[in-house]
Amino acid sequence: MPLVPGGKRVVGPAFTLRFVPVREDLATPESWGKPISTRAAIEAMPEGCVVVADAMGVPSAGIFGDILCMRMVRRGVTALITDGVMRDKTGVLATKLPVWCTGVAAPASVNGLTFVGWEEPIGCGGCAIFPGDVIVADDDGAVVIPQNLVSEIAEQGAEHERYEAWVVNEVEKGVKLPGLYPPNEETKKRYEEYRKKR
């Protein structure tokens, strides 16, 4: 869910990050300066991407705080989505980076996770995410659209939105729901006539 509701809908290609269970020999503050680190991954993030981080749903280790989120903002990142938690909530909010997560925790990522890589297939929130998949997120949550389905989903989604807007208008006029939503044959004909006039 969004860290703060009421934001705008975001869309962008997935830039994936992957954490695994903590390994005390690898998950240390010193690891933050290594070539495979969250810091290095941030420097590889392209403008306009939506960062999707597989944090395995760990509720006790905040994967990012205000400084790293501010750097993402400066790099032009559109949003951050994780099945984990954040830290430094007040500072993260001040960056204005839209964030979707499962909560907030004070301990840093190395207290429960080891960062192992970026731009590879991950699992996040029970979904398979591949780099470049299209992510759409709003107050209802986040969804992933596989790259090869983007055109089809965009076309069908736009049509579905048009139909539902028409249904809302019909309901406001007092039309009863049975046969309207979902539509029966008569309703389909009325909708097609409406579409021809637009």
pLDDT digits (tens, 9 = 90+) for 105-143: 999 998 999 999 999 999 999 999 999 999 999 999 999
Does domain 10-145 fall under CATH 3.50.30.40? My reply is: yes
Where in the chain are the domains? 10-145, 151-197
In the structure, what pLDDT confidence band is assigned to residue 25 with cuts at 50, 70 and 90?
confident
Q: Is the pLDDT of residue 188 over 90?
A: yes
Amino acid at 100: W
State pLDDT tens for residues 144-168: 999 999 999 999 999 999 999 999 9
Q: Is the pLDDT of residue 32 over 80?
A: no
